[in-house]
Structure 1
Amino acid sequence: MVGPRARPGGARRPAPPRRPGPGALLAGLVRTARPRQWVKNVLVVAAPAAAGQLFTTAALTRLPLVLLLFTACSAAVYLVNDARDAESDRAHPVKRHRPVAAGQVPVPVAYAAGCALAVLAPLAAVLLCPPLTAAVLAAYVAMQLAYCLRLKRVLVVDLAVVAAGFLMRAMTGGIAMDIPLSRWFLITTGFGALFMVAAKRYSEAVEMAGRGGATRALLTEYTAGYLRFVWQLAAGGAVLGYCLWALETGGVPQTGLLPWRQLSMIAFILGVLRYAVFADRGTAGEPEDVVLRDRPLAVVALVWAVLYGLAVTGW
């Protein structure tokens, strides 16, 4: 039996990856699109929920479509990102198992699928949603692709781009529903997104301290002290923006049984403080994982949602 051809120096040439079948290819494309990350796109309901229009007929018919289109846009970005990083991912102990790096999805196929979704999703929004919705989706795709190609290597800008992605998710639902976006909504959401992004980066920096490598291009260039400053600043901005909304009474009829707006501040601040515990420990990874694995934080989030719902509906 003839063995694999040896390279000079005795190293063996790795066997080329086998061509995947249609089922394996489709499964690989779905995995590359990161289904676990799709939960972030639920933020498209934030603006309609804040306006008390989440369960209207228009919301129930249009928001699922917007959620689908935003999911397609985010999947496009993941596909292009993994295709671009396939070579470097093969040298990473964990990322080498990604479908593109492992050869389950050929690089040209990942590029083609990502580009197709990046074009088709905004075009579908042009036909099915208000024009500005398509513009936001196209801007999101362009910004995230720029992040993959260049901006993830630019200090501070990388944090701003990731936070802006969360903010654009939250804005899109309101734009699709023709809901005016409150300045307090934008301030609180923007700072809240920056808080979670910086807390995650800080946790990664703490985890990688003393190790010989980083999972992100800029992680070794940020100091833990700087990232701590950013998430603390952002947490303060989010709390301040929310409290200013809750205490604002101009033009808001006081018809509720209790001051739900003001009471919701307590739950919101408690939630930020509880999340900051994990940020300070360096264990604040994916936001959805933090909330789901910590029962007290999940309870606080539920209480806040109830109080906020009572506030915006005027009960």
Structure 2
Amino acid sequence: MTERAALLEEPPPGPGVATAPPPDPRARALGLPRGLLRTARPRQWVKNVLVAAAPAAAGDLFRRQTLHQLPLLFILFTAAASAVYLINDARDATADRAHPDKCRRPVAAGEVPVPAAYAAGALLAALVPAAAAVLCNPATAALLGAYLLMQLAYCLSWKNVLVVDLVVVTAGFLLRAMIGGPALGIPLSRWFLITAGFGALFMVAAKRYSEALRTAREQRTDKGATRALLREYSDGYLRFVWQLAAGGAVLAYCLWALESGGTPAGVLPWRQLSMIPFILAVLRYAVFADRGTAGAPENVVLRDRPLAVIALAWTGLYAMAVAGV
């Protein structure tokens, strides 16, 4: 039977039969930019608010120069982190397809071609330090360059090295917290660096602990693939690390608050009082760490109302200390 005869014998669709709509060219054109944006992890951008930590700790948050520079620092760090996510997902596309959750990432799902993710990530990685050197200063460009180099090395090999992976992720948080100092000419207190470092290690170790517990559950139920490194950490070791880091952060903050000296007569010691909500915040976050539900720190910080109230109380007390009320 010829092709023409086959077409003649095939009846046309009836009035009640639905036909597939033709592909929308506009949707196809927007598919790649939308996929690249999703690969850049917009939900993770909240972490970059930490660029305000150094000027806030120094009491310079509301200076005109600070208010002008902080949005720029936020954008630069967001672009740097996005570059790392793009390159990481391009490199791990094959492994992510075997993961129960990561298989939905745009690169793994085929929504973003691997070469496009590599190209977008490389372009951002090249532009960020150059833009920081022009718009800020060489020190800011150097810190952003160091962040990119560490995180790219993490993507390539360091994420498979015990302890080193914890250090690199912690250093990423610490660089976020300290970059406002060099960018705005603000000296960084040693206590600020110690508190920020231990606080970052606390959250990173709690995240790994939660992921390790989830890995153990998935192994028992035969669900999907997981990172091999998580199986090399023992639950006891990761618990020890986040507990040690939590204690170090609390001790450093308390020593810093007490070292600040006395206050004028008739004025409450706001800085010393701020130790109370700080300790409560650590204890509250430790609840999620202990349960193994701190795998997504941004969800814990944004969704837990008691933690939000504690954070507001700390902000109010610290603001009073900075204002000298």
* Aligned twin of 1:11: none
Query: Distance in 1 between the 2:84 and 2:228 partners?
Result: 17
* Aligned twin of 2:283: 273
1:148 has 2:158 as partner: no
* Aligned twin of 2:170: 163
> What SS class does the counterpart of residue 229 from structure 2 fall into?
coil
Q: CA deviation at 1:280?
A: 1.0
- Which of 236, 240, 245 aligns to 2:247? It is 236
- Which of 249, 265, 289 aligns to 2:260? It is 249
- Which of 277, 281, 303 aligns to 2:313? It is 303
Gaps of 5+ in 2: 4-24
Q: CA deviation at 1:21?
A: 3.3
CA displacement, residues 44-80 of structure 1 (integer Å, 9 cap, x when unaligned): 0000111111111101111111110110000000000
Query: Distance in 1 between the 2:226 and 2:324 partners?
Result: 47
1:59 has 2:58 as partner: no
> What SS class does the counterpart of residue 60 from structure 2 fall into?
coil
Structure 1 pair 263–283 and aligned structure 2 pair: CA distance change class (3 A): same
Query: Distance in 2 between the 1:31 and 1:98 partners?
Result: 8
* Residue pair 2:99, 2:225 contacting (<8 A) in 1 also: no
1:118 has 2:136 as partner: no
Letter in 1 for 2:117: A
Query: Distance in 2 between the 1:220 and 1:67 partners?
Result: 35
Pairs within 5 Å for 1:125-274: 125-212=132-219, 215-249=226-260, 254=264, 257-274=267-284
* Residue pair 2:41, 2:85 contacting (<8 A) in 1 also: yes
Letter in 2 for 1:225: G
CA RMSD of superposed structures (Å): 1.8
Letter in 1 for 2:259: E
1:314 has 2:324 as partner: yes
* Aligned twin of 1:7: none
Q: CA deviation at 1:97?
A: 1.6
* Residue pair 1:260, 1:308 contacting (<8 A) in 2 also: yes
Structure 1 pair 187–255 and aligned structure 2 pair: CA distance change class (3 A): farther
Structure 1 pair 214–87 and aligned structure 2 pair: CA distance change class (3 A): closer
Letter in 1 for 2:318: Y
Structure 1 pair 99–245 and aligned structure 2 pair: CA distance change class (3 A): same
CA displacement, residues 92-147 of structure 1 (integer Å, 9 cap, x when unaligned): 22212211111111111110100000010110011010210000000000000000
Q: CA deviation at 1:198?
A: 0.5
Gaps of 5+ in 1: 2-18
Letter in 2 for 1:223: S
* Aligned twin of 2:8: none
Query: Distance in 2 between the 1:255 and 1:60 partners?
Result: 32
* Residue pair 1:89, 1:101 contacting (<8 A) in 2 also: yes
Letter in 2 for 1:293: R
* Residue pair 2:44, 2:298 contacting (<8 A) in 1 also: no
* Residue pair 1:256, 1:311 contacting (<8 A) in 2 also: no
Structure 1 pair 243–75 and aligned structure 2 pair: CA distance change class (3 A): same
CA displacement, residues 199-225 of structure 1 (integer Å, 9 cap, x when unaligned): 111111122224326633310000000
Query: Distance in 1 between the 2:194 and 2:117 partners?
Result: 36
Letter in 2 for 1:313: A
Query: Distance in 1 between the 2:35 and 2:138 partners?
Result: 33
* Aligned twin of 1:289: 299
1:76 has 2:76 as partner: no
Query: Distance in 1 between the 2:217 and 2:265 partners?
Result: 57
* Aligned twin of 2:100: 93
